[in-house]
Amino acid sequence: MRKIAEVLRLHHECGRSQREIADVVGASPTTVGEYLRRASRAGIGYPLPAGLDETALQARLFPPVLPRNVERAEPDWPTIHRELGRKHVTLDLLWQEYKAEHTDGYRYSAFCQHYREWVGKLAVSMRQTHAPGEKLFVDYAGTTLSVIDPDTGEIRPAQLFVAVLGASNYTFAEATWTQTLPDWLGSHVRAMEFLGGVPEIVVPDNLKSGVKKPDWYEPDLNPSYQDWASHYGVAVIAARVRKPKDKAKVEGGVLVASRWIIAALRNRRCFSLDELNRAIRELLARLNTRAFKKLPGCRRQAFETIDQPALKALPATRYTYADWQRRRVGIDYHVEVHGHYYSVPYRFARQEVDARVATHTVEVFHKGVRIASHVRSRDKGRHTTVDAHMTPAHQAVSGWNAPRILAWANKVGPETTAFIEHLMSSRQHPQQAYRACLGVLRLAREVGRTRLEAACARALAINARTYKSVASILKHGLDRPAEPPAQSTLPFDHANVRGSHYYH
C-alpha cells in the first residue's frame, strides 16, 4: 500500500512519468498506470485525504468483486445508445454516470461488453453512430412512380427523391419529373425547408446532376451544386464510387420509402405531380411517426431530441437555381449567353469568365470575382450594354476599334466598307457591331473579295443589318447576277411539228 501512496506522490507532486515512477517503485509501467486510473476514478489525489488509512485506501481502489451470481443493475441501453449520438459523449462518461447511481453495477469492461452485445442485436442500419445534425444523405429511389395525363391518358414516370438525417433517421421524400440539375437542387432546397435547418454535411451519390466527374479521392462537383452548397454553408462529400456503405443511411431510407410510399401508392391513380406529392406527404408523416421496433420513440421524436437542436439556421434568402457557363469575352467586351450579348468592363476583353445564369439575372465572374450583373434578356442577337463598361469616347478595345475595322474593309472594296459602316450605325454603340463586322470581313477568305463585294451590295439594297444576312446571300448564290433563261429549241425538225408562228 505504501507503494501506491508513493506512486500518487511522484505523479501529483513531482510530475514524473509512468515509466520513471515504475523505475523508482520497482513495478511495471502498466501497474503504475492501473493505480493512477483507479485513483482517478475513485477521486483520490495527493496528499491523501485525512483519515484514509491503508485499509480504506485498499478498499477504495480495489473494491471486492461481487460473485457472478449477484444480480447487478441493468443499464438503460436504449437511452445510452441515444446519448452516444450526442457530441462529445463517450461510453466512459456514461459508465461513470451509471456507477454513480449504481455503486454495485458493472465494471467498465463488463459495461462495454454488454453494450456491444446489445447493439449487435439491432438492425444493421441502426449500428452506425452519427453526430447530431452532422450528415444528410440524399439519393433517388430506383423505382419510379406514375402520373396519368388527364387529357391523353398517357402514363408519365416520376422520380422519388429521398433525404435521411444520419442521427435520427428523419426522412424527407418528394416526387419530381426528372433527375436533372434543376429538379435535383430544387429537392435539396425543399428538404432543408422541411427540416427547418441546415446540416453540416450533405452526402450524395455520384449522379451527374451533383458530381460532374467522379473520383475516388476528390470528386469534381457540378458548379451549380457547389453554388448551392455555398449558399447554405454546407460541405458536399460525395460517396465513393461503388461504395454503398458510404451512404448506408440513405440506402436504408430508400428501401423504407419504397415500401412505405411507392408500394403504398401502387394502386392509387394520380393525375398531376402536385396530387402525387400530397399523397407522399401523408405517407411521409405516417412513416416519421411510426414507432421504432428496437428503440424507444419514432423518427420525429428522435429528430426533435437529437438532430433539430444541432441544425444550423436556414439562410435569410431562399436559394435561386442558376446555371454556370464558361465563356470567353469578345473583342467588343460582350459575353454571349443563350444568344444574347451582355457587356463586361472593357479591360476583360478576350478573357475567360464564368457566367451565372439565373431565372432573372446574369452575373459574370472573373477568377471568382463578380465583374458584371445584368437583368436577363430573352432577345437573341441583341445587346445589353452598361455605359460604365465602355472605354472613354468609344476608343480602342484591346487593339480593335472602328478605324481599324474600316481600314480592313477598305482592302476588300467600297461596298464592303459601306456595309460595315451601315452595321456600326445600326447599333446603339459601335462596339456592339464589332463581332458582326469581323464575321463579314472573314467571309472574304472563304469566297473571295469579288463575291463579298457583290453580297454586301445586295445586303445594302435590301437594308439588311446582320452578318447572317450576308452569309445567307453567299450560301444561296444570290450575289451572282441572274442568268437569262435559255431559249428552248426543239430537238428535231419535222413538217408535222408546229412552231410558235403557227399561233400568231
pLDDT in tens, 164-216: 988 888 999 999 999 888 899 999 999 999 999 999 988 887 665 555 544 43
Residue 502 lies in a domain: no
Residue 128 lies in a domain: no
Residue 26 lies in a domain: yes
Q: Based on the domain organization, do 373 and 292 belong to the same domain?
A: no
pLDDT of residue 396: 45
Question: Distance (Å, rounded) from C-alpha 75 to C-alpha 208?
Answer: 47
Residues 31-70: pLDDT tens digits? 888 888 888 888 888 887 777 776 777 777 777 665 555 5
DSSP 8-state secondary structure symbol assigned to residue 105 = S
Question: Distance (Å, rounded) from C-alpha 311 to C-alpha 242?
Answer: 29
pLDDT of residue 67: 55
Which residue ranges in the chain fall short of pLDDT 50?
Answer: 124-128, 213-219, 394-398
Residue 176 maps to which CATH number?
Answer: 3.30.420.10
- Domain end point (choices 279, 310, 341): 310
pLDDT of residue 276: 93
Q: Which residues contact 448 (CB under 8 A, 6 or more apart)?
A: none
Residue 369 lies in a domain: yes
Q: Based on the domain organization, do 151 and 282 belong to the same domain?
A: yes
Domain count, the chain: 5
Place of cell 444493421: 124
Q: Among 244, 245, 290, which residue's Cα sits nearest to residue 264?
A: 290
Q: Based on the domain organization, do 297 and 162 belong to the same domain?
A: yes
Pair type for strands 201-203 and 171-176: unpaired
Residue 496 lies in a domain: no
- 414: cis peptide before it, omega within 30°? no
Q: Based on the domain organization, do 223 and 200 belong to the same domain?
A: yes
Q: Based on the domain organization, do 179 and 49 belong to the same domain?
A: no
Q: Based on the domain organization, do 140 and 261 belong to the same domain?
A: yes
Q: Based on the domain organization, do 351 and 438 belong to the same domain?
A: no
Q: Based on the domain organization, do 218 and 335 belong to the same domain?
A: no
Q: Based on the domain organization, do 169 and 107 belong to the same domain?
A: no
Residue 490 lies in a domain: no
User: Please, where are the H alpha helices in 62-217?
Assistant: 77-83, 91-101, 108-120, 181-195
Pair type for strands 135-140 and 201-203: parallel
What are 185's three cell numbers? Answer: 437542387
The SS3 assignment for 328 reads strand
Question: Distance (Å, rounded) from C-alpha 110 to C-alpha 104?
Answer: 12
Residue 155 lies in a domain: yes
- 47: cis peptide before it, omega within 30°? yes
Q: How buried is residue 379: exposed, middle or buried, by Cβ count under 10 Å (0-12/13-18/19+)?
A: exposed
Residues 444-460 as b/e (b if ≥16 CB within 10 A, e otherwise) read beeeeeebbbbbbbbbe
pLDDT of residue 45: 82
Q: Based on the domain organization, do 238 and 176 belong to the same domain?
A: yes
Q: Based on the domain organization, do 36 and 154 belong to the same domain?
A: no
Residue 88 lies in a domain: yes
pLDDT of residue 342: 93
Place of cell 460604365: 388
**Is the entire prediction scored with pTM above 0.85?**
no
Residues 314-369: pLDDT tens digits? 999 999 888 888 999 987 788 999 889 899 998 898 899 999 998 889 999 998 89
Q: Based on the domain organization, do 389 and 445 belong to the same domain?
A: no
Domain that holds residue 228: 135-310
- Domain end point (choices 374, 394, 414): 394
- Domain end point (choices 310, 344, 365): 310
